[in-house]
Amino acid sequence: MAVVEAIDLHRTYRTSTGTFRRKWKDVEAVRGVSFEIGEGELFGLLGPNGAGKTTTIKMLITLLIPTSGTARVLGHDVVKDAREVRKSIGYVFGGERGVYERLSGYDNLRYFAELYGVPPKRIRPRIDELLELVGLRGREQERAEGYSRGMKQRLHIARGLLHDPPVVFLDEPTIGLDPIGARELRATVASLAQAGKTILLTTHYMFEADALCDRIAVINRGQIVAEGTPTDLKQRVADGTVVEVEVFGVPEGTVKRVRGLSGVLSVSVEEREQAQVIIVQTRADVELTQGILGTLDGANVGRISRREPTLEDAYVALVAEQ
């Protein structure tokens, strides 16, 4: 049985502008999203900013009511049986907001332990376990306002796990963490998956999704555009090659001209310190390096390399197709 089921979820936001003559505008944030997550699966939801990832998660964790469609967690409807759903899930939004700043980390956890009905005798040991897990041991008596961003984020993880929920939702849990902190957090997520928890994770870091997720859905403008294992997704562009050209000052119109070359699947430009890198995915059977250089109008070119596609390339291709 699927632990998390989303069936044709839609969500529209109404926003207004102007104070006196209000104009209402509807934003269709999620437009027909369906997926299933099996027991013990680590499912990744990837997509550009504003794609509808957070909105989808908020519907699943009962914070938003879907405009239409249904969703179930462990068989409980997220609208009708919200209470049952809430008992069995933990959720964490990335970022530092959402802690009671004036109180200590310990007080924060203590309060939520009560809200989640952790048995009184278990509260202290459970908090100690979690402080150990997220590496906040020894800092728990300090006021949370003095915590660094990463510490607050780890406090959130601990809070989300207090009642040992079988299903966990993590919305960009590693955002803003330093590389070591992010790595530790990935290890924590992996160990949760190991322990048999069902996890939905969103992230903007493709290597993270590649390393952690059993299955991935790519969402763009409120719709799922691809779904599969990381390997599946890479295979979609696997019969291609990636050419990266370092350029010092990309001439105007280059991207358009490169896109016009036959055999090009997608083009993106990445800013580096001194230069930009044009990343071109091409079909495997064409050799486009010369063609690409030809579009550059004699701009100063640095390193040129060819490589196998990564999950990030697959993602860029999928999102660019739209």
Partner 1 sequence: MRILRLLWVGWKFHVKSLTLSAFFILTSILQPIIFASVAYFMFRTGAREGTLLYVALGAGMMGIWSSTLFGSGGAIQWQRWQGTLEYCIAVPPPFLLVILPLTLATATIGLYSLTATLVWGWLFFDVPLEVADPLAFAVALPVAVVGLGLLGLILASTFVMYRNANALSNLLEYPVWLVTGLLVSLSLMPGWVGPISWVLAPTWGVNALREAAIAGNPWPEIGMCLALGAVYLVIGHFALQHFERLARERATLSLT
Ligand X SMILES: Nc1ncnc2c1ncn2[C@@H]1O[C@H](COP(=O)(O)OP(=O)(O)OP(=O)(O)O)[C@@H](O)[C@H]1O
121 is a contact residue toward partner 1 (CB under 8 A): no
Closest CA to 261 of 237, 243, 239: 243
Q: Which residue, 54 or 266, is less far from Mg ion as judged by CB?
A: 54
Cβ proximity of 52 and 221 under 8 Å: yes
Provide, rounded to whole angstroms, the least separation between the CB of residue 165 and partner 1. 11
Q: Which is nearer to ligand X, 46 or 247 (CB)?
A: 46
- Measured from the Cβ of residue 166, the count of other Cβ atoms closer than 10 Å reads 18
| Separation of alpha carbons 200 and 171, rounded Å | 8
Point out which span in 42-50, 56-64, 184-192, 208-216 binds partner 1 (CB under 8 A). Answer: 56-64
The entry of partner 1, Mg ion, ligand X, none that residue 17 binds, CB within 5 to 8 Å by partner kind: none
Cα–Cα distance for residue pair 288/220, rounded to 1 Å: 29
Q: Tell me the C-alpha distance between 207 and 310, whole Å.
A: 8
Q: How far is the CB of 234 from Mg ion (least distance, A)?
A: 24
Least spacing, CB of residue 28 vs ligand X, in Å = 8
Residue 99 or 233: which CB sits closer to partner 1? 99
Tell me which residues touch ligand X (CB under 6 A). 13, 15, 27, 29, 47, 49-55
Contacted entry of partner 1, ligand X, Mg ion, none for residue 63, CB cut-off 5 to 8 Å set by kind? partner 1
- Greatest extent of the chain over all pairs of C-alpha atoms, in Å: 73
**What's the min distance (Å) between Cβ of 26 and ligand X?**
9
| Concatenated DSSP letters of 244-305 | EEEEESPPTTHHHHHHHSTTEEEEEEEE-SSSEEEEEEEETT---HHHHHHTTTT-EEEEEE
Q: How far is CA 83 from CA 77, 238, 264, in A?
A: 10, 45, 51
Contact characters 73-112, partner 1, x per CB under 8 A: ---------xx--xx---x-x-x-xxxxxxx---x--xxx
Query: Binding Mg ion by CB under 5 A: which of 54, 203, 220, 281?
Result: 54
Question: Is 168 in contact with 196 (CB distance < 8 Å)?
Answer: no
The nearer residue to Mg ion, 54 or 276, going by C-beta atoms, is 54
The residues near 64 (Cβ < 8 Å, ≥ 6 apart) are 11, 55, 58
Residues that bind partner 1 (CB under 8 A): 13-14, 61-65, 82-83, 86-87, 91, 93, 95, 97-103, 107, 110-112, 114-117, 120, 143, 159
Residues that bind Mg ion (CB under 5 A): 54
